[in-house]
Structure 1
Amino acid sequence: MSYRVEQRAKANSLEFRLFFKNCKGNYISPFHDIPLYADEAKGLFNMIVEVPRWTNAKMEIATKDPLNPIKQDVKKGKLRYVANVFPHKGYIWNYGALPQTWENPSHIDENTGFGGDNDPIDVCDIGSKVCERGEVIKVKILGTLALIDEGETDWKIIAINADDPDACHYNDIEDVRRLKPNYLESTVDWFRIYKVPDGKPENQFAFNAEYKNKDFAINIIKSTHDHWKALVTKNSVEGEINCTNTTVQESPFICKPEEAESIVKATPPCGPPNPISEDVDKWHYYEKN
């Protein structure tokens, strides 16, 4: 199934939202209405691209907003951008999330000893194409990294766009190590230090920052999918998650197409982008401890 997006409000503003539509032109929630599997028989998953490679704006699915559009993260009233920490320019992969997954903060992960971060599970697409914000791509799962982000479990799934010309050569995490030397090490380095320019300490990892393989990663994904199912089908919602959806028939939060349209139309219309501060392009240099 194909999807498209509709921008509301100005880019680089607090009000900016990117809403999703299905092939029929109906508004949907990318979090709840896009299926986890793109092709379960072939082991392909849907990935929602929140942040294109090399960009800095920290975009994310708005889990607390109705219909969960993509918005820019905000800290202390200001839009968030990830710093350029040499030699990394912005995000070093297409970064996004798997729909219909949820890292439950009430569930203590047996592998990490911490609860989830209350978001869909994150994905790093290592393919060569620089995707568009809001693009939905089919990915092959290759492995995972267990980040501990400020006391929360924050799994990072490593995947490759199934349409990448070289995707057939990538079937597990060791293929990345073999075919893209230092890429996995650079990914650990990125996640370890990306918050340091903001005055935060280095992030920590479970398993001594070692990657787990494809099978392990898929088991983690299935677990977060089960947590999502429990979340979206019960009558009360944990963690302030907004479960408004248009297709999950067993969910008490399902809404009609006209209700979904009224949610979108209540937001400001699209306008010209606001200027971005020159500080976003500043380079930072950091020596590891």
Structure 2
Amino acid sequence: MSFTVEERGNPNSLSYRLFFKNAEGKYVSPFHDIPIYADESQNIFHVVVEVPRWTNAKMEIATKDPLNPVKQDVKKGKLRFVANVFPHKGYIWNYGAIPQTWEDPAHKDGDIGCGGDNDPIDVCEIGTKVCSRGEVIKVKVLGVLAMIDEGETDWKVIAINVEDPEANDFNNISDVQRLKPGYLESTVDWFRRYKVPDGKPENQFAFNDEFKDKDFAIKVIKSTHNFWKALISQKTNAGELNCKNTCVSASDSPYCCTVEEAKAVVGETSPCGKEEPIPSSVDKWFYYERK
């Protein structure tokens, strides 16, 4: 199963969008139409790469927009870039999300006591390759970190691309600790401090800042898949989320989007144009003393 992307608007601008197509050239939603599993029997999952490693633009699946294209997050009318909090440059993994998952805000996790963050579950892919924005990869899950972001549960799955040359060496979170010493500690440090330059407090974590193992992570992913199933079948109120899709819903579902309707959604956006310059401030370093 393969997917391609179509750029619309000007890169590095408010108009930029990245729409997805399946192998038949049909527009699809990366939130709803791309299957969660690449191989269910082996617990191999698809991941939509939103942010390639070392980059700063906070790109994300637009869960409230028709067809859910990838676009850059906006804060106070300006494009959002994560700061370089020393010693980290941009994102330190390929960062993305598992399709057909949803962290339900109404569900308070039994271990943590907080509701979900209303997004697909996040993934940090730790392989050697720097992926491309919009690339759909197949990963095996290694573990998970439970971040508490402004009172919401925001799981961070640790995974590796099955096509990575090192993939056979990584089968659980203990392998990351053994073969990439310091990487998990840096991951906690990154998530703890990345919002501080924006004037926000440090993020907190459940389980004493410790990563849970592969089995725990897969259990969490499957629970978010069940929340998504309830969402797409209208058993849960979608709120502001846009659940339009071209492949999942039956024709009598209000969420069903025809090929023509999907083309019209894309057609309403601007054609891909000239890339805008990235603000020079994005390359600045932010320093502050750890508490």
Which TM class, normalised by the smaller chain length? Answer: over 0.9
Q: What are the within-5 Å matches in structure 2 for residues 1-289 of structure 1?
A: 1-234=1-234, 237-250=237-250, 251-289=253-291
Task: Specify the code of the residue in structure 1 equivalent to 2:238.
Answer: E
Secondary structure in structure 1 of the residue aligned to 2:46:
strand
Sequence identity (%): 70
Task: Specify the code of the residue in structure 2 equivalent to 1:279.
Answer: S
Secondary structure in structure 2 of the residue aligned to 1:142:
strand
Secondary structure in structure 2 of the residue aligned to 1:31:
coil
CA deviation profile, 1:253-277 (whole Å, cap 9, x unmatched): 0111111111100111110111111
> 1:239: how far off?
3.4
> 1:15: how far off?
1.4
Task: Specify the code of the residue in structure 2 equivalent to 1:286.
Answer: Y
8 Å contact 2:249–2:255 — kept in the other structure? no
CA deviation profile, 1:182-203 (whole Å, cap 9, x unmatched): 0000000000000111111100
> 1:238: how far off?
2.5
Alpha-carbon distance in structure 2 between the residues aligned to 1:187 and 1:235: 36
> 1:235: how far off?
7.1
8 Å contact 1:38–1:46 — kept in the other structure? yes
Secondary structure in structure 2 of the residue aligned to 1:190:
helix
User: In the comparison of the two structures, how many residue pairs are matched?
Assistant: 289
Alpha-carbon distance in structure 1 between the residues aligned to 2:239 and 2:110: 20
Task: Specify the code of the residue in structure 2 equivalent to 1:256.
Answer: T
Task: Specify the code of the residue in structure 2 equivalent to 1:77.
Answer: G
8 Å contact 2:197–2:286 — kept in the other structure? yes
Alpha-carbon distance in structure 1 between the residues aligned to 2:16 and 2:186: 31
Secondary structure in structure 1 of the residue aligned to 2:185:
helix
Secondary structure in structure 2 of the residue aligned to 1:187:
helix
Alpha-carbon distance in structure 2 between the residues aligned to 1:249 and 1:94: 30
TM-score (norm 2): 0.98
> 1:236: how far off?
6.8
CA deviation profile, 1:192-242 (whole Å, cap 9, x unmatched): 000111111100001111000000000000000000000011177423110
Secondary structure in structure 1 of the residue aligned to 2:225:
helix
- Once the two structures are overlaid, the 10-residue window that deviates more, 192-201 or 232-241, is 232-241
Alpha-carbon distance in structure 2 between the residues aligned to 1:75 and 1:3: 30
TM-score (norm 1): 0.98
> 1:77: how far off?
0.7
8 Å contact 1:118–1:239 — kept in the other structure? no
Secondary structure in structure 2 of the residue aligned to 1:226:
helix
Alpha-carbon distance in structure 2 between the residues aligned to 1:239 and 1:148: 22
Runs of 5+ unmatched residues, structure 1: none
